[in-house]
Structure 1
C-alpha cells in the first residue's frame, strides 16, 4: 500500500497518535492472557491512550470547526456532519456488520443490542456481560462530540466573547468533576462501568483539545509564546501524567476511597491537561516530539482508526487459531499479533476507508486528492 507523503507534516502528532493506538492495543491484549512482566506497567495504564485520542480529536477537529471564522465565513453544520459521516461511518459499519453477522469474529460471546451501536449509545449502561466490540464506547463519545461541537461553535460565534468561551469550557470541566463525585457517592462499587464509559463524564480530553484549538486559531500571540516553550510544555505535561499514574497505582485501583477515588474525580482532567501540554509541545518547533521523525509512524497513524476498530477481534482469533504460537507469549506471538492486526487494518483502510474518503472528495469538488489524503492521515478519529 502506498501512502502519499504530505508536505510539512507535524511529525509530533503522528508520534502521539501511534503511541495512543499502541498502548490501547497492548492494554486490550491483557484480556486474552498474561503478558511479559516487562511491559505490564505500560499495559496497566494503556487506557490513557483513549484520553490522548480525545485530546487530539478536540485539537484537530476543533481547528476545522473554527477555521472558517478566520476568513469571515461561518461554519457549515451540514458540511461538517457530512464530512464526519464519510470519515467514520463506512469503516465502523463494515466492522459492526462482522460482529453482527459473523459470531466467530467476536472477541467475546455477547454483543450489546444492535440499536445501541447504530445510535452510538452503547457506552450508556455498559456492562461487561456484553463486552464484544466494547472498544466502540470511545467512538460513541467522539460522535457525541461531533454532534454538539458545531452547534456550540455556531452559537458562541454569533457574539464572540473570550469571557463567555472560557466560562463554557470551565463549566464543562467543573460539571464533569462534580458529576463524577456525585456518581461515586451513589455507586462506590461501580467506579469504572458507571463513570468511565458514559460521554457526560469523559469530556475533559475533548475540552482540553478544543481549548488548544481556540488559542491557536484566535490568539496567535499566546500560541506563539507557547510554541517557544516546547520542552517546558513536555516536562510539565509529563509531571501531570505522572501524578495521575500515582493516583491510579495498582493497589488502589477500583477502590471507593483514597487516591483512586480522587483519580476518578480530579485525575481525569489532570490527565487531559498533561496530554494537552504534550500535544502542544509536539507541534512546537523546539519540542522534543516535533524534532523526531519516527520511522513508520506516518503509516501507523494513517491506519490508527482501522487498527482501533479491528485489533481486539483479530488478536482473539489469532489466539484461538494459533495457540501453539500465542500461548508461550514470546517474540513469535508478538510478531504474529503485529502482522495480523496490521494486515486487517490495511485491508479495511484500502477496501473501505480510502474509497469513501475519495468519494467525499468527489462530492465536495473543492479539494485535491493529495489534500484529502493529508487530512485522512491527520484526523484522529477513533
Structure 2
C-alpha cells in the first residue's frame, strides 16, 4: 500500500467511497428526526454538513476536469446537468406532499400557503423552520451555490487556479463572519462547508498543492481520520464549549476538515474505502437524495399503518428508513435516472450536430490505415 500520485488522482473516473458517505449521511439525518432522545448523542443533524462538503468537492472537481479537457467550462451544460439532476425528483416529492395534505384537508394546518412560495423558488432556508418538508432548506442553499459558483470561478476574469484558491479562502472567511454576526445563521455554516469541499477540490487539482495532502492518500490514513470524525460528531456540544460557544461552527468545521481528509484517504484503497464502497452502501448512497426528500412521507405512511410507531424511537427510525428507502428506490428508477438521461441527451445532441460536419470533412483521413490495420491519426 502506498500514497497515490497526482496523475493517478486525475485518472480516477469515480470516487466509490463517496457513495458510502452519502448513505451514512442520509441515514443519520433520518435517525436524527425519528429515533428519539436516546439517539441524540449521534448528532445526526450533522449529516447535512457531510453532504455539503461532498457537493462542493464533486462539483468543483468535475468543473475543473471539464475545463482541463475542453479548455473551458460550459455553463449551459453545467446548469442543464444540475437542473435535470435536482429539480424533477424535488418537485415530484413536493407534489406528493401537497396532494397528500390537500386530500386530508390539512393544507392550511401545515401552513403550506405560506411555505409554498419558498419551496417553489428554492428559497427554503428563509422559510419558517420546523415545518413540513423543512429538510429541503439544504436544497435552497445548494441551488444558490450551483448558480453562483461556476459563473464566479470559471468565467469572471478567467481566474487561474492560483487566484481561485485565495478567493475561496476569502469566501470561507466571509461565511465565518456571517455566522458569528448572525447575518445568515445556519446558512453561513452551510456555505462554509460547501466551500471547504470546493477548497479540497482546488487543492487536489493543483500538482503543487496536491503534494501537501498526498500523505493522507495512504490507505491506512483513513481509519484514524474516520475515528476523529466520529469523535467530533458525537461530542459536538463539548467541543463547542471548549471554544467558548461558537454556535456549533468550530466543531462542525473540524468535522468538515475530517470529512475532507477522509475523502482524500479513501482514494488509494484500503479497508475503509472497501467498507464505504460495498454494494449495500452504494445502493443507499445512490438513492440518498430521494431518501433525504421522502423521509417525512415515509413517516406518515408508517404512522398511519403502525400507530404505535408514532413515538420517536429506534424501532420507528429503522422502519421509517426502510420504507423511505423503498420509496427512494422507486423515485431513483422512475424519476431520477430517466431525467438524468434526458438532461444528458439535451447536452450531447447540440454537440453532435456541431461535430458532425467536421467529422465528415475529416472522413477521408480517417480511412488511412496504419501498419497494424487500424485507422491512422486524422
- TM-score where L is the length of structure 2: 0.77
2:48 alignment partner in structure 1: 50
Q: Map 1:51-66; keep pairs closer than 5 Å.
A: 51-66=49-64
1:248 alignment partner in structure 2: 237
Moved more, 11-20 or 312-321: 312-321
Once the two structures are TM-superposed, the CA of residue 132 in structure 1 deviates from its matched residue by 0.6
Contact 1:29 1:312 in 2 (8 A): no
Contact 2:189 2:249 in 1 (8 A): no
Once the two structures are TM-superposed, the CA of residue 240 in structure 1 deviates from its matched residue by 6.0
| CA distance in 2 between partners of 1:71 and 1:83 (Å) | 18
1:313 alignment partner in structure 2: 297
| CA distance in 2 between partners of 1:69 and 1:8 (Å) | 16
Structure 2: which 5+ residue stretches go unaligned? 1-11, 350-378
Once the two structures are TM-superposed, the CA of residue 317 in structure 1 deviates from its matched residue by 3.0
Identify the match of residue 276 of structure 1 among 252, 255, 260.
260
Contact 1:52 1:272 in 2 (8 A): yes
1:3 alignment partner in structure 2: none
- Say yes or no: does 1:208 pair with 2:208: no
Structure label with greater radius of gyration: 2
Q: SS in structure 1 opposite 2:110?
A: coil
- TM-score where L is the length of structure 1: 0.76
| CA distance in 1 between partners of 2:94 and 2:261 (Å) | 35
Contact 1:244 1:270 in 2 (8 A): no
Q: Map 1:20-31; keep pairs closer than 5 Å.
A: 20-30=25-35
| CA distance in 1 between partners of 2:312 and 2:77 (Å) | 50
| CA distance in 2 between partners of 1:260 and 1:300 (Å) | 38
Once the two structures are TM-superposed, the CA of residue 91 in structure 1 deviates from its matched residue by 0.4
Q: Map 1:152-301; keep pairs closer than 5 Å.
A: 152-155=152-155, 158-162=158-162, 164-183=163-182, 195-196=185-186, 198=187, 200-219=188-207, 221-222=210-211, 225-232=214-221, 234-236=223-225, 238-239=227-228, 242-243=231-232, 245-249=234-238, 259=243, 261-286=245-270, 288-292=271-275, 293-301=277-285
Contact 1:240 1:271 in 2 (8 A): yes
Structure 1: which 5+ residue stretches go unaligned? 1-6, 187-193, 367-382
2:98 alignment partner in structure 1: 100
1:355 alignment partner in structure 2: 338
2:129 alignment partner in structure 1: 127
Once the two structures are TM-superposed, the CA of residue 106 in structure 1 deviates from its matched residue by 8.3
Q: SS in structure 1 opposite 2:235?
A: helix
Q: SS in structure 1 opposite 2:134?
A: coil
Once the two structures are TM-superposed, the CA of residue 320 in structure 1 deviates from its matched residue by 3.2
| 1:130-153 CA-partner distances (Å, limit 9, x unpaired) | x11001001111111111111122
| 1:209-231 CA-partner distances (Å, limit 9, x unpaired) | 11221223232752772454343
Following superposition, which runs of at least 4 residues in structure 1 exceed 6 angstroms of deviation?
105-108
What is the RMSD computed on CA atoms of the aligned residues? Answer: 3.2
Q: SS in structure 2 opposite 1:109?
A: coil
